[in-house]
Structure 1
Amino acid sequence: MDYTLAVADTETTIPGGIGVLLVHPSIGETDRIDTDFLKADTDNFLVVSTRTTAREVEQKLEHYDVDESRAEILDTISVERGYSRRSSDHFHYVSAPDDLEGVVDRVESFLASHAGKRRISVDSLTELAYYADIDGVYDATEEMLDLLAEHDAVGLFHLSREVHDDDEIARFRERFNVVIDLRDDGSVSVELPEA
């Protein structure tokens, strides 16, 4: 099954089962790219939020006019920050921000329990690596990409270019079929697989 990908001046389709890497500056405005990815041509989506709480993700979706009824949110930081956890069928939590196994399990559970077109957004791999180690995050990314392939879904994975060295960025880039580069000046380029 194919999925719409509309980013900046690029509008195309990508096949299900693949991941998209969003490489961005630390202070880059990624919300528009993220929400455009989530709201296009999808039945259900999961936001894995490592930087903001579930409530803040909800506010972002509302601000960008994304259909929240299709959303599930995995909040990885509320426990760490001592925030209360809101009970909801659409909110999920892990025991700690470095619980990579818990993150992968929730992605698998989401994909297995929904039919149709499914998208996930992992915001961000960089923040996960802040709590866990980079090799663990790479392995967890591999597992999530395998799950996308198994379930014919697509995912967007955020990575900050200013935090990681060139070798780390290259290692992640090589694993993804599509790479979106958001530059410091706000310009965007999209690398698509060769036909």
Structure 2
Amino acid sequence: MEYALEIDGAPDSVAGGTSVLLLHPSTGETDRIDTDFLKTDTDHFLVVSTRTTAREVKQKLEHYDVDESCAVILDTLSIERGYSRRSGDDIHYVAAPDDVDGIVRQVERFLENYDGKLRISFDSVTELAYYAGEDAALEATERILGLLEEHDAVGLFHLSEEVHDDDTVEQFRAPFDGTVDLDEDGSVTVEF
């Protein structure tokens, strides 16, 4: 299955199973790239949020005019922070942002339960590393990349390169098919 990509400098389309790492400065404005990725050529998408709550994800999707009927959100923060939450078909929770197995299980459940062109946005791997440690975050990322291949889906994973040393960034970059490097001035460099 082929997926169209709306990222400047990237190929017009990629095969199912393709994974893209979005490298950005800690102050980088990633929402535009993220939402363009999600709203193009998609039947259903999952936003795994280790950085914001489901409510904030919904606000972002609405602001960028992304079809929310296609959206499923995995909120990793609300339970630990004691926020009220209401599970439904389109919003799921894990107990804490370091619940790596719970996150991977929810990604797998999404990929098994939906048909068509499926996309995942993981925002952010840096936050997962903050809560669970870099080794656990890398292992979870690799497990999810395997699921993307298995289910012919595509994924975009956020990583703030200012937070990690160069060796760690390279470790995270290695298993990905492509890298989108967002500079502070908003310019984008793409490597596939």
Structure 2 alignment gaps of length 5 or more: none
In 2, distance between residues paired with 1:151 and 1:7?
23
State the partner residue of 2:113: 113
Q: How far does the alpha carbon of each residue in 1:75-117 deviate from its partner, in whole angstroms, 9 at most, with x for none?
A: 0001121111123211100011100000000000000001110
AA of the residue aligned to 1:135: D
Shift of 1:9: 4.8
User: 160-169 or 80-89: which moved more?
Assistant: 80-89
Shift of 1:173: 1.0
State the partner residue of 2:157: 157
State the partner residue of 1:175: 175
Q: How far does the alpha carbon of each residue in 1:15-45 deviate from its partner, in whole angstroms, 9 at most, with x for none?
A: 1012100000001000000000000001000
AA of the residue aligned to 1:145: L
Shift of 1:12: 1.0
Report matched runs for 1:51-70 at 5 Å.
51-70=51-70
Shift of 1:174: 1.2
In 1, distance between residues paired with 2:36 and 2:9?
13
Decide whether the 8 Å contact of 2:17 with 2:150 is kept in 1: yes
In 2, distance between residues paired with 1:39 and 1:82?
31
AA of the residue aligned to 1:164: H
In 2, distance between residues paired with 1:44 and 1:155?
12
State the partner residue of 2:87: 87
State the partner residue of 1:33: 33
In 2, distance between residues paired with 1:40 and 1:151?
18
SS in 1 for 2:88: coil
SS in 1 for 2:174: helix
RMSD: 0.9
Shift of 1:59: 0.7
State the partner residue of 2:16: 16
State the partner residue of 2:130: 130
Structure 1 alignment gaps of length 5 or more: none
In 1, distance between residues paired with 2:48 and 2:97?
11
In 2, distance between residues paired with 1:13 and 1:128?
28
Decide whether the 8 Å contact of 2:148 with 2:155 is kept in 1: yes
Give the aligned length.
192
AA of the residue aligned to 1:140: A
State the partner residue of 2:140: 140
TM-score by length of 1: 0.96
TM-score by length of 2: 0.98
Q: 1:142 to 1:9 in 2, by over 3 A?
A: closer
After TM superposition, the runs of 4+ consecutive aligned structure 1 residues lying more than 4 A away are none
